[in-house]
Amino acid sequence: MNKLILIAAAIVAALTFGSCEKTKTGGVETQKTIKIGISKITQHPALDAVEQGIQDGLAARGITAEYDLQNANGDMSTATQIAAKFKAEKVDIAIGIATPTAQALANTIKDIPVIFATVTDPVGAGLVTTLEHGEGNVTGLSDAIPTSEHIALFKKIADINTLGYIYTASEANSASALALVEKSCAENGITLITQSINSSAETRQAAQAIVNRVDGLYLTTDNTVFSGLQGVINVFRGAKKPLFSGEVDSALDGGCLIASGFNYYKAGIVTAGMVAEIIDGKKPADIPVKLLTELSETDFLIDMDAAANCSIEIPEQYIEQANKIFENGTLYEK
């Protein structure tokens, strides 16, 4: 009897130890609940959509996660503090939405996986050295947009000869985008007028400074500019001049003649897939940087109210191509 009791006790002890044991795969300890820190540079519809897509994508895969959701409010020092917080609290995976927060995480955290989401130029930002694979504990997703095609389309539809461009001087992402805009304007025979800002509070003043010198304004995926987008829209709407946005989610309430870009919620879903790969055992260095290039991953919006305000007639072929139409103050989706 004593022998049976000892055997039973040994089995219980083994089961108890086994239930607390963690196995390490791909740099993440596999456990019932994964602790994920998400840091975004600021709050606006596109970045919010990425954040939600990540959570929904992981839930759809049956992954139980505890989230620490942080917003740097456009401040780089705050982004660095958030990165330090994630490191101190030992999150299992850290995700940076947008370039500054991704850089803060990658510079601060070296011993857990870091995934960047919606970084236009991850090589230029120093996050990876190639798009073919991750770098150390870092990999992620790029939201690069077809700038040259956008500007050519803007010229064709709105007869743009002088183009305005507002960008954040301090962001690596914006510097890379500016180079592409300059190249694209040269290719399309368009004069470029630029205006730099340092914070979202300056966007309206930047729009006022540039509006009378240009035929229209082009916006790339600059998070600081987009967080102050409504002020820009109001200035250009008053001047009856068109805007082309390289990001659609922020244009859903109207004000941009054209908005074309990939779907940020779907970008979050794809990012969740990368998180799942790491949880399943892959190392970040072995995961290529993701690019969303399929038509199903993009959105194309035409704002008929903005067209009427600017006295621009949209060719029927583009109306047919658009999967979102804004008209009479209402968004219609095909």
**Backbone phi and psi for residue 113, each to the nearest 5 degrees, phi listed first:** -60, 135
pLDDT at 19: 32
Q: Where are the domains of the chain?
A: 26-144+264-295, 147-262+297-333
39 within 8 A of 94, measured Cβ to Cβ:
yes
What confidence category does residue 207 fall into, taking pLDDT thresholds of 50, 70 and 90?
A: very high
Q: How far apart are CA 63 and CA 61, in angstroms?
A: 6
Mean pLDDT of the region 1-9: 41
Q: Which of 283, 278, 301, 327 minimizes the C-alpha distance to 45?
A: 301
pLDDT at 172: 74
Strand partners, 35: 66
Strand partners, 166: 195
As a whole number, the mean pLDDT across the chain is 89
Mean pLDDT of the region 92-111: 97
What's this model's pTM, rounded to 2 decimal places? Answer: 0.68
Mean pLDDT of the region 77-100: 97
pLDDT of residue 233 exceeding 90? yes
Mean pLDDT of the region 238-247: 96
pLDDT tens by residue, 113-163: 999 998 988 998 999 999 999 999 999 999 888 899 999 999 999 999 999
pLDDT tens by residue, 151-204: 999 999 999 999 999 999 887 778 788 999 999 999 999 999 999 999 889 999
pLDDT of residue 37 exceeding 80? yes
Mean pLDDT of the region 201-221: 95
- Tell me the angle at which helices 172-187 and 147-158 cross, rounded to the nearest 10 degrees: 50
pLDDT of residue 108 exceeding 60? yes
pLDDT at 13: 39
Helix (H), strand (E), coil (C) string for 126-137: CCCCCCCCCECC
Q: Using only the alpha carbons of the chain, give its radius of gyration.
A: 23
Strands (E) located in 41-159: 65-71, 93-97, 114-117, 138-142
Q: How far apart are CA 89 and CA 222, in angstroms?
A: 30
**Percent of residues, the chain, with pLDDT higher than 90:** 74
Do 26-144+264-295 and 147-262+297-333 share a fold?
yes
What confidence category does residue 296 fall into, taking pLDDT thresholds of 50, 70 and 90?
A: low
pLDDT at 3: 41
pLDDT of residue 310 exceeding 70? yes
CATH architecture of the domain 147-262+297-333 equals: 3-Layer(aba) Sandwich (3.40)
CATH architecture of the domain 26-144+264-295 equals: 3-Layer(aba) Sandwich (3.40)
